[in-house]
Each structure stands twice: as C-alpha cells, then as structure tokens.
Structure 1
Amino acid sequence: MLDKFREAKQLEIDSLRKDFMEGRVPAAYQGERPSFVEAIRAKGPGAVIAEFKPASPSKGILRENLNPLDYADMYADNGAAAISVLTEHKYFKGTPDFLFMMNQPGIPLLRKDFIFDPLQVAMTASSPASAVLLIARMCDNATHLSQLIEIARMPGLAPVVEIFDQADLDMAREAGADIIQVNNRNLDTLEISLDQARNFIAQKREDELWICASGISERKQVTEMAQLGYDAVLIGTCLMETDDPAAKLAELTGAK
C-alpha cells in the first residue's frame, strides 16, 4: 500500500526539486507555530488529535462539500489538543492549502501526508504546521529518517514518527525520534486492532511522547489508551462520517 502512496507523491517531489534547482526555495513560515508537544502534554494523557480528511483509500469520499474552516473552529471548541490535516490529494482529497485555512483557532496542526524527501519537509516548514508526520517504513534506513527528523526540527516542527511493527520502532529510535505514533492498521489486510497499541505501549520510554492512531471511536477507548500510557489518540474517520462532529468530538474528549 505504501508503494502506491510513494508513487502518487513523485510528481510533487519532482516539482519541488525543479523549483529548488532553479533557486525557488520556500521560505520558513514566519507566523506563530504553537507547540505540538506542549499542547498534547497539557491535555494528556489521552489528549485527542482530531483529524480532517475528506476521503480515505479504504472508504472513498467520507463527506461531501466540507469546509475546513468550520472544522478547525469546531475541533478547537470541543476539546481537541491538535488537528491532524490530510494534505495528500489523490487518495485523501487533501491539499497543503488546508494548513493555511485551518490555523485560525491557534491550536497546533499536524501535517499528515506521505513525506520521505527533505524538500517535502522544507515545504511543510513554509506552512503554519507545528508538526509533520514521518512514516518510518517509507524511509530507506535510519540515516534517511534521521535526516528528515533533523530538517523538521530546525524550523521548529515536531517530527511525529509512525510505526507499524517492531522494526519500525527500532528504526525510529535509532534515528532519534522522541514522538512515536503507533498505527493500529495492518497494512497487508487493512484490518484494525487496538491490540497493536496495547502490545506496543510496554516499550514506551520516559522521555518519549506516544500517540495511538486508527480504530478509536468511543470515549471508553480514549480512556483505556490514556490509562495504558498514551499521551494522545488520533481520531479521524468517525469524526468525518458522523452527522454531528462537534457532539462526537465533545463526547470523545470529555468536553461535554
């Protein structure tokens, strides 16, 4: 699955490289970039990162005619610690423009995309994002991942490294990651099991921030992950599919 995502990003990377060779390097964002880690710590354990994604590869279009600005306000008003913003276009119908459209409430934005080239990180730094998702297994090795982590940290982006198995976690740590996102989806079968999160949390270290992603749709699951030691949970699909995302998020965060 990740191979098709890598292929989908190649045109974007080729364009970024052409711009770079011609001297068009995106300048770092000069506005406020609120701390992703501090926002999670303030509402954790079990802080909710609410995700905005118009579509998904497994379910297609999740909702039609979405207004990113409305969702940003709604998420901020109902207890979200941060917002995960899908910027991949082909499979998720996202765009990097969402990062500029959704920063008004002032809570941290996590850019979620398939990022494996340094220029993609530089482009992220030119936006109001506070964090960037790096999927460990999309990198060639720990050195490659470490390079992306260091480039992200220079302008103040928090690098969130996503893992699916033990080899991913080992690579993340070798690369110097300190924010680990455990994805509960099996990439081969696309099945989701919270047992993935339950099993991995035993390896959490004191100086690390851990996020549980995929499969959370009920308050009791948020509470369980918090009790296990997850600093945050990332919730997307159930918020995008419900008719009342504000009420659903308030339920998940315990805001109401």
Structure 2
Amino acid sequence: MNILERIAADKLREVALKKQVTPEGELRQHALFTRPTKSLKGSLERLPYGIIAEHKRRSPSRAVINQGIALPEVVSGYSAAGAGGISVLTDGLYFGGSLEDLQMARAATDLPLLRKEFILDTYQITEARAYGADAILLIAAMLDPGHLADLAQSARAQDLEVLVEVHDREELEAVRDCGADLFGVNNRNLKTFEVDLDTSRSLAGAIPDGALKVSESGLGRPEEIRELRQLGYQGFLMGESFMKTPDPGAALVELIKSLHA
C-alpha cells in the first residue's frame, strides 16, 4: 500500500465516523452554509501574481513546519500582504489541520478560501460549504475520472469552485473535461516527495482553455514564479516557504515586493 492508498483508507474511515456523529442534513443548518461564496479564480485573475497562501502546520514530507503561530495571525498577515486566496489544510492525521481551522480562517479574512483536503466523498464537500470554504481541492491521483467529475458537479451545485490537482500528463488527460475552474499542477512527486518545476513547465500548454492554471509546491524564488507566469500560470499555491518563517505574512510581503522589483 502506497502513501496515497493509506491516506485514502484512513480518510474513508474518518468520513464514515463523522457521518454517524453529524448527518449531512445538520451540516446544511450551519450559519455559514448559506453564505454567498467568493470566486478564487476571479480573485487570482485580478492580480499580476495570484498567490494562494497556505496555512500548513506539518506534512508527511517535512514533519513539523510551524506549530507556534496562531492561525488567525497567519491568515490576517496573508490578507494584509496581498494574497489572492488562502489555502487551509483541514486533514488532521497527516497535516495537523481541522475544520475548525477553516472556520477560524473564515472569521479572519474576506479572501476566498480553499479547503485543502483529501476529498473522496460528497459529505466532505458539504462540510467545506458549512465551514466557510469557497473552493475545494480534488486530487486526480486519488480519484477515478468518473468519480472526480461527480464530485466536481456536487461542488458546483453548492456554489463551490473546484481546483483539480494533477501530477503528470496522463492524469491531466484523464480529467481534462471534468469542468474544473482551476487546474493545479503539483510539482511534488507524491511517491518520492521530490520536487521538480519541470512538471509545471511541461504541462502548461496542455491545461484546457478556460481553466486557470495554478502551480503548486516547491515555489519560492521570484524568478521561478515570473517564468511560470510567462507560461500562463496565474495562480501559485505556496505554504511551506512562508510557514517555515517566524512571520508568514511578512515573508509574503517580501516575495511580492521581489516580484514587482
């Protein structure tokens, strides 16, 4: 069993238990469920460099990144710095996140929020809506194309945008017609955890017209982001390079200054 298979098995058990405690109908009664959502795609399109700044305490590839800064402080710092959106990791077992993190982020910012999660069930989409998300992540490596398309349709029915993440051309070709609002190219190999920006370079021209291109993982140097912008990427999902510093918001300020220098 590889890491993604193990994560999927753990996540399905978690979702099954959650359904017993909180039926989906109860989630729809949450105050945030009827809140008008904001477009992550639109927010990124309006910026020269659309940074999706991520709150990330730890990860399977890097263990602890930063658990010493309160989430509202991080999110407020990102907002003030000029982020186009905020990504909030809600997986607890592998990333140390929670749905409460998403809810606190919603209270701390008016920016569009992406729920970063291993989504395998429509129940998790309703959770995302109920806790204040504007968009969800669907990972092509964890879903067969038909299931991914069904989840994307469920998200759109709840006024949530969909960021579909791919890691290679085969995955992209399998899901290119799913109607994603954004396609994210993850530069990290999920089997080896190695990072290679050539993944974003090679897939830039293959992403369907109409979907906003997002490069994910391994980003940090302004010259890399400028290069990818020239290749058509308008979104850049970044977390670790900010979170490993004492002040993530200040780190984003410095990056944006460098990009415009």
**TM-score over 0.5 for the alignment?**
yes
Note the C-alpha offset of 1:8: 2.3
| 8 Å Cα contact 1:115-1:133 kept in structure 2 | yes
State the distance in 1 between where 2:35 and 2:191 align.
41
Q: How does 1:4-19 map to 2 (within 5 A)?
A: 4-19=6-21
Hey, which of these two has a bigger chunk of helix by percent?
A: 2
Counterpart position of 2:119: 115
CA contact 1:32–1:128 (8 Å) conserved in 2: no
Shift of 1:19: 5.0
Q: Deviation above 6 Å: which 4+ runs of structure 1? A: none
Residues 167-199 of structure 1 show CA distances to partners (whole Å, capped at 9, x for unaligned) of 211122132324110000112221001011011
Amino acid at match of 1:41: E
Q: Would the aligned equivalents of 1:222 and 1:252 in 2 still touch at CA under 8 Å?
A: no
Unaligned runs of 5+ in 2: none
8 Å contact from structure 1 (residues 86, 92) kept in 2: yes
Q: Is the 8 A contact 1:219 1:251 kept in 2?
A: no
Is 1:43 equivalent to 2:47 in the alignment? yes
Tell me how far apart the structure 1 counterparts of residues 67 and 236 of structure 2 sit (CA, whole Å): 25
Alignment-derived partner of residue 150 in structure 1? 153
Structure 1 counterpart of 2:236, one-letter code? V
Indicate whether 1:124 and 2:128 are aligned.
yes
- State the one-letter code of the partner of 2:16: D
Compute the displacement of 1:155 (Å).
Answer: 1.6
Structure 2 distance, partners of 1:19, 1:244, is 37
1:26 alignment partner AA: L
Q: Return the match for 2:179 from 128, 153, 176.
A: 176
| Greater Cα shift, 243-252 or 82-91 | 243-252
Deviations 1:23-50 (A, max 9, x none): 7441161224221111111114x31100
Q: Does 1:98 align with 2:98?
A: no
Closer, same or farther: CA 252–204 of 1 in aligned 2, 3 Å: same
Query: Percent identity between the aligned chains?
Result: 33
Question: Which deviates further from its counterpart, 114-123 or 238-247?
Answer: 238-247
Distance 1:150 1:19, change over 3 A: farther
Give the length in aligned residue pairs: 253
Q: Secondary structure at the match of 1:149?
A: helix
Cα distance in 2 for residues equivalent to 1:249 and 1:23? 37
Which shifted more, 59-68 or 170-179?
A: 170-179
CA contact (8 A) 1:113 1:133 kept: yes
